[in-house]
Amino acid sequence: MNQVLTSRSALEMSATHSKDALASHQTVRTPDPDAHPSRLRADGVSVFYGDKQALFDVSIDIPEKSVSALIGPSGCGKSTFLRCINRMNDTIEGCKVTGDITLDGQNLYDGNLDVVELRARIGMVFQKPNPFPKSIFENVAYGPKIHGLARNKTDLEEIVVTSLQKAGLFEEVKDRLHSPGTGLSGGQQQRLCIARAMAVGPEVILMDEPCSALDPIATAIIEELIDELRSNYTIVIVTHSMQQAARVSQKTAFFHLGKLIEEGPTEAIFTNPREKRTQDYITGRIG
């Protein structure tokens, strides 16, 4: 199935190429016969910040219940692409997105789509832990409260506790649920943010360099957590660490200068990259 999709997007891309010389590039795709089916797809996505184009015609399928890693040198558009998936780019003035991103066949850039509801389905964890200046409990309860997910107090408490447990934070904070979330350590704060994202019951979780502000131990804990979450969630993670991408992801996509250069199973990308630029980046020659 994956192969069919790949050739389909490749076909469409070659059609756009003839019109747009700027986007004359071809993503190298290595199909993965074992991959989970994809419910989330990007098709010919380009992003402009004002007049400046930051992403060129990116097409990729994100398999469900697995981790996909986006790698590439700084400024290549990884975060930009990630933000397209839950339409966080809407909050940036002057940012324009063209192309399609679909979740279960529904176009996310359809004018009728409720962005607010979409963001509840596609959660996001940011580079720097950003707990609200509220208590740990209130941080996690924030999403369920605004979406009306809990019918009463007990419900809410249950959601909060389950989410904290899923994020592997509950044991550490169960005695101080009502102390401020900003008082936790960096690694704990990041897990709090993960718990907060999970409390609204998303299907997809986007993570933008979730470990870049953390020390190796906190990083290892988060990576372990990501690996556990994989069985229930579709996860897309941006990372600057090759090792991290190799450890946690099943699929890897390499971006360079706003273009998706190569994508495929993580193993194939890291052991046998087919594009020279991919190889150069992985071996540390560009970046």
Ligand X SMILES: Nc1ncnc2c1ncn2[C@@H]1O[C@H](COP(=O)(O)OP(=O)(O)OP(=O)(O)O)[C@@H](O)[C@H]1O
Residue 176 CA to its chain's centroid (Å): 30
Residue 61 in tokens? 């399928």
Tell me the closest approach of the beta carbon of residue 193 to another protein, in angstroms: 7
For residue 86, what is the DSSP state? T
Out of 6, 46, 59, 79, which residue is the one contacting Mg ion (CB under 5 A)? 79
Question: 3-state DSSP: the chain helix, strand, coil percent, rounded to 5?
Answer: 45, 25, 30
Residue 258 in tokens? 């706003």
Give how far Cα 44 sits from Cα of 4, 50, 259, Å: 16, 19, 11
Tell me the closest approach of the beta carbon of residue 41 to Mg ion, in angstroms: 22
- Taking CB under 6 A as the rule, does residue 54 contact ligand X? yes
Tell me the closest approach of the beta carbon of residue 5 to Mg ion, in angstroms: 27
The one segment of 2-10, 19-27, 117-125, 243-251 that binds another protein by CB under 8 A = 117-125
- Rounded CA-CA distance 4/93 in Å is 37
Give how far Cα 11 sits from Cα of 7, 32, 97, Å: 6, 19, 21
Tell me the closest approach of the beta carbon of residue 77 to ligand X, in angstroms: 4
Out of 77, 181, 187, 264, which residue is the one contacting ligand X (CB under 6 A)? 77
CB closer to ligand X out of 79 and 190: 79
Angle between helices 216-229 and 186-198 (to 10 degrees): 20
Tell me the closest approach of the beta carbon of residue 208 to Mg ion, in angstroms: 6
- Taking CB under 8 A as the rule, does residue 128 contact another protein? yes
Residue 187 CA to its chain's centroid (Å): 19
Out of 33, 133, 216, 284, which residue is the one contacting another protein (CB under 8 A)? 133
CB closer to ligand X out of 149 and 286: 286
Out of 42, 62, 76, 193, which residue is the one contacting ligand X (CB under 6 A)? 76
- How crowded is residue 114: how many other Cβ atoms within 10 Å of its Cβ? 8
The one segment of 34-42, 103-111, 130-138, 153-161 that binds another protein by CB under 8 A = 130-138
The residues binding ligand X (CB under 6 A) are 49, 54, 72, 74-80, 92
